[in-house]
């Protein structure tokens, strides 16, 4: 047999195969092997024997569509959502919630060991919720048209085809109401909807924001142009049909892009912001503000970060990616001073406003990339007893980690939404005098493959 034959994948597109599922991939898909060749199967669970139709073959792996479950897992449950199989919004509704929490912890364990090369780190069970449904306080649904009907919902898995959704099981009830009412009004008023292929049509996205504790609702219409026909009538009908609405906003995005928001936002009626609370703190949230989408779980995550910081009231703390200041305000309760750094100017404005709103006077916020600001702070003689970092999914730039190390903080608290980049950064810190003590995963996004973690890192004793 030739070398080419040996290396040829043993599966073919369009063919059916019986596969034993032995694990889960990082996106929640089942992972099995056929003749020692890896096959990824969405909606399959470890321990199951399944029949699969191969839809894609690469050199080292294939992807298959689940055709039949021959031997089901005891952890398999019926998805609540009627469009779950088509929709790309959730990945794990077919798995019991308890097993979702187990798997999310295992994702963290695997990353820490495989990527970070770290042993003996305490990784706690994932902190779940009593009711893992209707939790998202922010909705962003693309709008389209099908058979003359206005539709809105998440994209189908692996495509930009909109799956029309009347009731999203992970959206707050108020956001579901917003989506339904706005679709009806677009249809009734004869407004055009955006077409990605041609770049024409007016309404691009329906965005809903709700204060989980305040109950206040914001409706945002993302439009491909400034002028909205019958704007006053649209606003009047939204106010009539959504009694909890306090803000109706237009965001203008005329670019041919997949980015949802454009640069210009204007308030059509009501307030510029809605109000919500995390713990004892009050926040004003604008259309484009970052705010954790699961408010009760955010409170748990930030409380854990505060616990890991072990503050006595005398410490100087740096929050290296502070966003709108949510974690910084929690830290300020027990620190002497908190310095926040964020590259987005609007976020820093929000952070300063949030500090004033809550009467917090021991915070200082700076605009800039942490890569540039941290070394400048170091050169100015600012030293931090504790550093808190909540970076983007890509993790920390190495220059940022190097500055952490130069500052010699006693503790680093790392909040992450990506176990892989977290593990990489923890591995680097381990090589430069820091030891990861423990990690707590928090389920911010039930029924999806995402997990958030809080991590305690301490400086090693000098030998």
370 and 437 both lie in a single domain:
yes
Is the model's pLDDT at 382 over the cut of 90?
no
pLDDT value at residue 462: 63
Q: Which residues pair with 277 in a beta bridge?
A: 282
Same domain membership, residue 327 and residue 310: yes
Q: Which domain holds residue 188?
A: 138-278
Number of domains in the chain: 3
Q: Check residue 1 and give its pLDDT.
A: 39
Q: Is residue 220 part of a domain?
A: yes
Which of 7-11, 157-161, 285-289, 363-367 has the highest average model confidence (pLDDT)?
Answer: 363-367
The single residue listed with the structure tokens 């809105």 is 152
Decide: 192 and 201 in contact? Cβ < 8 Å: yes
Residue 176 located in a structural domain? yes
Evaluate whether residue 78 is within a structural domain: no
Looking at the fold, whether 303 and 417 belong to one and the same domain comes out as yes
Last residue of a domain, one of 231, 251, 278: 278
22-70: per-residue pLDDT in tens?
999 888 999 999 999 999 999 999 999 999 999 999 999 999 999 999 9
CA 159 – CA 162 distance, rounded (Å):
8
Are residue 112 and residue 146 in the same domain, yes or no? no
Of 243, 278, 313, the last residue of a domain is 278
Q: Of 336, 310, 327, nearest to 411 (Cα)? A: 310
Quick one: pLDDT at residue 383? 85
| pLDDT given at position 3 | 44
Does 285 reside within a domain? no
Percent of the chain with pLDDT over 70: 98
Q: 147 and 110 in one domain?
A: no
> pTM, whole model, 2 decimals?
0.91
Q: Are residues 360 and 444 in the same domain?
A: yes
Closest residue by Cα to residue 150 from 158, 138, 142: 142
Across 3-155, the runs of DSSP E, i.e. the strands, are: 16-24, 30-34, 37-41, 49-57, 61-71, 122-123, 138-146, 149-152
Asked if the structure places residue 363 within a domain, the reply is: yes
* Same domain membership, residue 253 and residue 145: yes
In a domain, 53, yes or no: yes
Mean pLDDT rounded to a whole number for the chain: 94
What's the rounded Cα separation, in Å, for the pair 6 and 14? 21
**At 447, which CATH number?**
3.40.50.150
Which run of H or of E encompasses 457?
Answer: strand 452-459
Residues 108 and 126 placed together within one structural domain of the fold? yes
Give Cα separations from 112 to 193, 363, 428, 444 (angstroms).
45, 33, 12, 20
Measure the CA–CA gap between 93 and 102, rounded to whole angstroms. 14
Report the CATH number at residue 207.
2.40.50.1070
How far, in Å, CA of 330 to CA of 333, rounded?
6
- How far does CA 410 lie from the centroid of its chain? 29
Q: Are residues 298 and 175 in the same domain?
A: no
With tokens 């009538």, the residue in question is 233
According to DSSP, residue 127 is labeled B
pLDDT tens-place string over residues 344-370: 888 899 899 999 999 999 999 999 988
For β-strands 217-223 and 203-210, DSSP reports them as: antiparallel
Task: Assess if residue 287 is contained within a domain.
Answer: no
Task: Please provide the size of the chain in residues.
Answer: 463
**Rg of the Cα trace of the chain?**
24
Q: Are residues 305 and 439 in the same domain?
A: yes
Tokens at residue 109, please? 């364990």
Q: Which residues contact 244 (CB under 8 A, 6 or more apart)?
A: 174, 210, 215, 216, 217
Domain match, 383 and 412 both: yes
In a domain, 80, yes or no: no
The per-residue pLDDT for range 68-114, each reduced to its tens digit, is 999 999 999 999 999 998 998 999 999 999 999 999 999 999 999 99
Is residue 461 classed as helix, strand or coil in its secondary structure? coil
Residue 77 carries which DSSP code? -
pLDDT at 4: 44
Q: The CATH number of the domain where 60 resides is what?
A: 2.40.50.140
Same domain for 227 and 149: yes
Q: Which of 228, 246, 278 is the last residue of a domain?
A: 278
pLDDT digits over 240-251, tens only? 999 999 999 999
* Residues paired with 144 in a beta bridge: 151
**What is the band of 6 on the pLDDT scale with cuts at 50, 70, 90?**
low
Active-site positions?
417
Q: How far apart are CA 432 and CA 354, in angstroms?
A: 36
């Amino acid at each position: 047999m030739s070398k080419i034959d040996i290396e040829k994948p043993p599966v073919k597109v369009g063919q059916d195969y019986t596969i034993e599922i032995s694990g889960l991939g990082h996106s929640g898909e089942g992972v099995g092997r056929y003749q020692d060749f890896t096959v990824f199967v969405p909606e399959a669970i470890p321990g199951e024997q399944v029949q699969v139709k191969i839809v894609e073959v690469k050199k080292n792996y294939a992807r298959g569509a689940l055709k039949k479950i021959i031997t089901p897992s005891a952890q398999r449950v019926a998805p609540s959502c009627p469009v779950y199989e088509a929709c790309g919004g959730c990945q794990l509704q077919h798995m019991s919630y308890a097993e979702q929490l187990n798997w999310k912890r295992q994702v963290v364990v695997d990353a820490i060991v495989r990527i970070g090369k770290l042993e003996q780190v305490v990784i706690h069970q994932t902190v779940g919720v009593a009711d893992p449904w209707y939790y998202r306080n922010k909705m962003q649904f693309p709008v389209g048209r099908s058979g003359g009907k206005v539709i809105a919902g998440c994209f189908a898995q692996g495509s930009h085809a909109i799956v029309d959704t009347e009731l999203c099981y992970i959206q707050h009830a108020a956001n579901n109401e917003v989506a339904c009412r706005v679709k009806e009004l677009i249809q009734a008023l004869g407004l055009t909807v955006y077409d990605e292929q041609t770049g024409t049509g007016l309404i691009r996205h329906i965005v809903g924001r709700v204060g989980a504790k305040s109950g206040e609702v914001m409706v945002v219409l993302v439009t491909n142009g400034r002028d909205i026909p019958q704007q006053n009538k649209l606003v009047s009908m939204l106010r009539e049909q959504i009694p909890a609405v306090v803000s109706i906003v237009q965001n203008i995005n005329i670019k041919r892009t997949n980015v949802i928001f454009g640069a210009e936002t204007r308030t059509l009626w009501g307030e510029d912001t809605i109000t919500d609370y995390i713990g004892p703190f009050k926040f004003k949230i604008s259309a484009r503000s970052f705010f954790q989408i699961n408010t009760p779980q955010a409170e748990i995550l930030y409380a854990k970060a505060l616990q890991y910081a072990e503050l006595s009231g005398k410490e100087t703390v740096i929050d290296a990616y502070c966003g709108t200041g949510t974690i910084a305000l929690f830290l300020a309760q027990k620190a002497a001073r908190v310095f926040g750094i964020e590259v987005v100017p609007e976020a820093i404005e929000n952070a300063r406003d949030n500090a004033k709103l809550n009467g917090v006077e021991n915070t200082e916020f700076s605009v800039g990339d942490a890569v540039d600001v941290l070394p400048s702070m170091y050169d100015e003689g600012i030293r931090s007893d504790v550093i808190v970092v909540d970076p983007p999914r890509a993790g920390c730039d190495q220059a940022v980690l190097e500055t952490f190390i130069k500052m010699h903080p006693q503790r680093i608290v790392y909040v992450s939404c990506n176990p892989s980049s977290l593990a990489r950064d923890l591995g680097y810190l381990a090589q430069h005098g820091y030891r990861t003590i423990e990690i707590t995963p928090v389920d911010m996004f039930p029924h999806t493959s995402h997990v958030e973690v809080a991590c305690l890192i301490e400086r090693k004793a000098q030998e």
